[in-house]
Amino acid sequence: MIDIVALRENSEPYIESLERRSMDSSVVSSCLSVDASWREQKGVLDSLRAEKNQLSQKINEVKKTGADLSSVLKEAKELPARIAEQELRVQELEEKRDALLRKIPNILADQVPKGASEEENVQRNEFGQKRVFSFPPKSHVEIIESLGVVDFDASRKTSGSGFFFLKGSLALLDQALQQYAIDIMLKHNFELIVPPYMLRKSTLDGVIDTEEFAHSIFSLQDKDLHLISTSEHSLVGLLTQKDIPAQELPVRLVGISPCFRAEVGSHGIDEKGLFRTHQFHKVEQIIVCTPEESTAWFERLLAITTEIFTSLEIPIRHLEMCTGDLGMMKHRQFDIEAWSPRKNGYFEVGSCSNLTDMQARRLGIRMLLPDGSRVVAHTLNNTALATSRAMVALIENFQQEDGTVLIPRVLHPYMRGVTKLS
């Protein structure tokens, strides 16, 4: 959630950000009103607690004089109930205020374009040369099924739609892409983490929006354990309630894991294919840094993913999310999209987000300054490479007229001598 102190001191940036998102800004005044009541009732509670301490001292003093204690003891007996009642009142106001705080989104970066929906997202950059085909390009599904390196029919029988069996050289390609992305991340001094694949709801509540939890998370029946949809959730959770010395920032983590997504919503799950599935592998980047460095790290994370895809010789672009398509916790977000010759258009292969202090505040991730004071850190996340979507782009862009698929040269060292899918 946002910082209540910052909201008290200057609510205008939050109101402006809500209006830029075409959201009702009255939630700010409602929140501040409840906060004012909370502070008033908190003052009453503090006074009652001080009164309890004073009564204890008064009882000791009266005992020394031998005077009648009955009136003082009666007051002392009634006070705990009054304190308990006031504590409940303060707690209820705090919960109501925090619920309203969660409805106030992160402040938008100045560069975020105005728009009502994803249709108004803005292309910022393009990279790579689009290949000109001398034959009608096929879809990735047509190609890999004809090569016999995938089995969608068997996975529908064993698991349902949205799953797949990768076979032979395609399974090897999936592993090669993971290792290649990891090697690039290690070159950029990220620490490699294999995280837990299941988390408690308390951790997930800190890293994602409630709506995202409801629509995209698989949960274990009768247990407070939920499958991760990205290793970002575990990596940020790793730092929960930690005070990180300022000299140790930035923290650079790269996670490798399977990802599980229910994908209930407008897009649904692909009946057949690797693009939108319930399960895939991903290499994910996480940064925890000082507030002053988060804008620069946003650009650096974008550059790393750009490096990966351009070295794979896959044309990509950066698409900036507009105000109407930006998540509640996001300060700024770019999607990285790859070129599909089959569709003659781009499709998403990853995203890069700056969440400033919103995620870290929820989880208590702070930087410890030399003077002993603490400041909430900033967090960023970025997809280095999701193998399923990267394979879609690779298969379509490197397909040959005879139905085979060439493997990019940079992946040859990871492919055990295989240079094409055939």
Residues recognised as catalytic: 261, 276, 348, 351, 389
**Given the DSSP bridges, would you call strands 243-245 and 366-368 parallel, antiparallel or unpaired?**
parallel
Give the chain's radius of gyration (CA, Å): 27
Task: State how far the Cα of 86 lies from the Cα of 370, in Å rounded to an integer.
Answer: 38
Q: What is the maximal distance between C-alpha atoms in the chain? A: 107
Tokens representing residue 328 in the block: 């509640």
Task: State how far the Cα of 358 lies from the Cα of 268, in Å rounded to an integer.
Answer: 29
Helices (H), 188-339: 201-207, 210-216, 231-237, 294-311
- Cβ atoms within 10 Å, residue 388: 22
Does residue 92 sit in helix, strand or coil?
Answer: helix
**What are the phi and psi torsion angles at 280 (to 5°)?**
-160, 170
Tokens representing residue 346 in the block: 């781009």
User: Long-range contacts: 200-206, Cβ < 8 Å, 24+?
Assistant: 200/224, 200/225, 200/226, 201/226, 203/233, 203/237, 203/240, 203/363, 204/233, 205/362, 206/236, 206/237, 206/240, 206/359, 206/362, 206/363
Q: Are 188 and 283 in contact (CB under 8 A)?
A: no
Q: Would you give the DSSP letter of residue 124? A: E
- Cβ atoms within 10 Å, residue 346: 19
Map tokens 């507009």 to a residue: 322
Q: Would you give the DSSP letter of residue 280? A: E
**Polymer length of the chain:** 422
Task: State how far the Cα of 331 lies from the Cα of 342, in Å rounded to an integer.
Answer: 34
Element holding 390 (H helix, E strand): helix 387-397
Task: State how far the Cα of 319 lies from the Cα of 327, in Å rounded to an integer.
Answer: 15
Task: State how far the Cα of 38 lies from the Cα of 22, in Å rounded to an integer.
Answer: 29
